Structure 1
């Protein structure tokens, strides 16, 4: 969804994970999302302690301390995070102010730092942004207490994603399961459509929905990042984990046949204008928020039946008044190749002004106590393995969270988040713009590849 440098590497386990590991993770996701009957997993079986059961987390008293925390979060996401910050204030006495940031956040932080007013902590949405902050001398390493909290609560892969040159700079507070397709349950019921598990089945389901009189997909083309996520899921499934990692590092070119294959597959949806709400032109004017609204407003005659994006779609669904798990249901992104994909994203807490207060806040954000508060409020997913599964407010979220934790280290982080910001994380430029152009003309696969490679080569300096 947004940036990193060419020197970034995924975790050791992530690099060596082969197709079989991806298959296990994808299978766990599919099983957990589609399981019917039986008791929900509400036991909090990961073994963590919620705030209700009594916390062992020790935080210092920080009376008189003032802190600023910046993040590109709005609406309910921002409001719910402020509840977490309020709990930190209750426990420590520190006054914490949330600073709304603009995207890309690295540019926003650069302006704040140039003006002599950096926030104490920033939530960065890309591994590449963390590295940029380190390279510019902005980011400060996490102290022993915060690192210890991370080690207790996170798998090695999630710890490693927050490291630069072996030092821990980021604590991933928020995760995203980005291998999901949400659908209007009433439309599927009326059409007699079923949840697909393969790409070919997805095309069949789309045709069934179309024949019932509803446009199958809403595509958020106005925002470039959802388009990169579409591509990444198809590419990971078809090309496999090793090639995914190599393309993320620009060790293979975007003119590679594997990219051609993924774009050709993607064009099977994007190239059918009657399958996309508003056609290509309309999709390019459709924001991410609009794409969700098009799918879950209008009763059983919405503008679209399905929308692709991560677990965070639930927040937007809630704003349409549709009920998650009843009106709005979800299935794993179908396998376009040998295995179904498991793509993740996330936001890491990074210290910009080192102080006891900033270190304590990041320690708190790395604890199950903080994540449990926001998990209960909905629309949030934590990579913290000690957050009780019972904290999530509905069956769909509990299953998505369990699938993420059960995947362990066998996942792939969002590819565009691993690219330099100028290629993978800037509106109107690089991959975002190139895929918007491809959405407008899905028949020009070769042209899209050439543009992607030219922009990637310029950004990676190769």
Structure 2
């Protein structure tokens, strides 16, 4: 759950209630006749979201309550969703609806028989307004279980406009030009990039964007399922491209040693703090929250972004994370739970959610005007434009022993590669050995 780690929202579980109102409010929220069809019923929901993300989601839940009369009880699990909700499901006492933060969680819960297939209404709404890839990620063994309602764009490069102006460079459209821009920034006095090497998940994100653009979506899918080996020439080529960033003197703030001591928040501060060390930092759209919240800078003025550029003539990548709404088979109120998921699939829900910021909808019916600022609108447009070429974070699809914070997994091996980027084939062999063991288990 890398996005959750990045946002640093590890908190104890808390419960907040959004209560349905009367018929007049139902009319205000868009109901055609103000009917309170679920009045007196309760739906329980669990998700990872806290803070501003929770507050924005509560607005959506309130709209559902106003429309239907249902009472919605929301529980935040912090970053412990699979553990907390999995234990409740195993004990026969799950929430009615869960917002699964990873593809693997949807797959695991479905394979254990804990989930109810989504309704035809949900399926039809998705067929009409979502790229097919998002339905694919919510489908397990041919049955549709997970509605992707919230997506993170992990293909964004954030930069200091002042650093670009000082170096005389413009936002690049190719990977090679991005490295050249970084070198120009380095020549002007700052490092080109800050890399959060202390957090191994950021290195997997670098690799995934390069690989998706360079090797293509079909190979990306195969590698994510370990249907091709990590010693495949496409992997070696992507590691070679990543190594160009790691091995160039002066391109990374502090060099490899400095990067390996830099956590994700520190990498953002290296570019947008009061004493900048670098001109660019790669990570997802959630960088904006760090800039605005912790560093108190203005996104769009002090900080701007450009899409992760195309590599070797490939398409510009869109790697995303996301949260899928699922209905539990042992839900206490399954009919009302499904009604909530049907509402979450609607333009109305997406429009309300988008207005709060920090949210991207894969629903193409959500208008760009719903987003609160130009950067959010651009990010939303990028998601829709990516269509079926968008791909879910690869390491989040892998077994935790390989894709997670394991001493023998991808995080650690890429940290070693950052330290010694010349050993491309050796790194590929280590990745394959670790993947083979994890996928076998």
Residue 296 of structure 1 corresponds to 272
**In structure 2, the residue corresponding to 1:68 is in which secondary structure?**
strand
**In structure 1, the residue corresponding to 2:305 is in which secondary structure?**
strand
Residue 267 of structure 1 corresponds to 243
Distance in 1 of aligned mates of 2:356 and 2:194: 27
Deviation for aligned residue 1:56 = 6.1
Deviation for aligned residue 1:332 = 1.6
For CA contacts below 8 A with separation 6 or more, give which structure has more relative contact order: 1
**In structure 2, the residue corresponding to 1:98 is in which secondary structure?**
strand
Change (3 A) 1:429 1:150: farther
Residue 307 of structure 1 corresponds to 281
Deviation for aligned residue 1:135 = 0.8
**In structure 1, the residue corresponding to 2:173 is in which secondary structure?**
coil
Task: Determine if contact 2:217/2:389 at 8 Å carries over to the other structure.
Answer: no
TM-score w.r.t. the length of structure 2 is: 0.85
Residue 214 of structure 1 corresponds to 190
Distance in 1 of aligned mates of 2:200 and 2:291: 20
Task: Determine if contact 1:217/1:277 at 8 Å carries over to the other structure.
Answer: yes
Deviation for aligned residue 1:54 = 4.4
Comparing 53-62 with 324-333, greater Cα deviation is found at 53-62
Distance in 1 of aligned mates of 2:395 and 2:318: 15
Residue 321 (str. 1) matches residue 296 (str. 2): yes
Task: Determine if contact 2:36/2:69 at 8 Å carries over to the other structure.
Answer: no
**In structure 2, the residue corresponding to 1:160 is in which secondary structure?**
helix
Residue 134 of structure 1 corresponds to 110
Alignment partner of 2:317 out of 341, 345, 349: 341
Deviation for aligned residue 1:276 = 2.6
Distance in 2 of aligned mates of 1:280 and 1:134: 41
Aligned residue-pair number: 412
**In structure 1, the residue corresponding to 2:133 is in which secondary structure?**
helix
Change (3 A) 1:67 1:173: same
TM-score w.r.t. the length of structure 1 is: 0.81
Change (3 A) 1:72 1:90: same
Change (3 A) 1:96 1:436: farther
Task: Determine if contact 1:345/1:413 at 8 Å carries over to the other structure.
Answer: yes
Change (3 A) 1:444 1:70: farther
Residue 387 of structure 2 corresponds to 408
Distance in 2 of aligned mates of 1:343 and 1:142: 25
Residue 417 of structure 1 corresponds to 396
Deviation for aligned residue 1:122 = 1.8
Task: Determine if contact 1:223/1:427 at 8 Å carries over to the other structure.
Answer: no
Q: Can you give the 5+ residue segments of structure 2 that lack an aligned partner in the other structure?
A: 3-26
**In structure 2, the residue corresponding to 1:409 is in which secondary structure?**
helix
Residue 332 (str. 1) matches residue 282 (str. 2): no
Deviation for aligned residue 1:59 = 8.2
Alignment partner of 1:123 out of 99, 113, 136: 99
Task: Determine if contact 2:29/2:67 at 8 Å carries over to the other structure.
Answer: no
**In structure 2, the residue corresponding to 1:197 is in which secondary structure?**
coil
Q: What whole-Å deviation, never above 9, does each CA across 1:209-242 have from its counterpart, x for those lacking one?
A: 1122222222233333222111011112222233
Residue 146 of structure 1 corresponds to 122
Residue 450 (str. 1) matches residue 425 (str. 2): no
Residue 16 of structure 2 corresponds to none
**In structure 2, the residue corresponding to 1:196 is in which secondary structure?**
coil
Deviation for aligned residue 1:253 = 0.8
Deviation for aligned residue 1:74 = 3.4
Residue 209 of structure 2 corresponds to 233
Distance in 1 of aligned mates of 2:200 and 2:420: 15
Distance in 2 of aligned mates of 1:217 and 1:322: 19
Distance in 2 of aligned mates of 1:224 and 1:109: 26
Distance in 1 of aligned mates of 2:205 and 2:100: 18
Alignment partner of 2:37 out of 40, 61, 77: 61
**In structure 2, the residue corresponding to 1:350 is in which secondary structure?**
strand
Alignment partner of 2:65 out of 86, 89, 95: 89
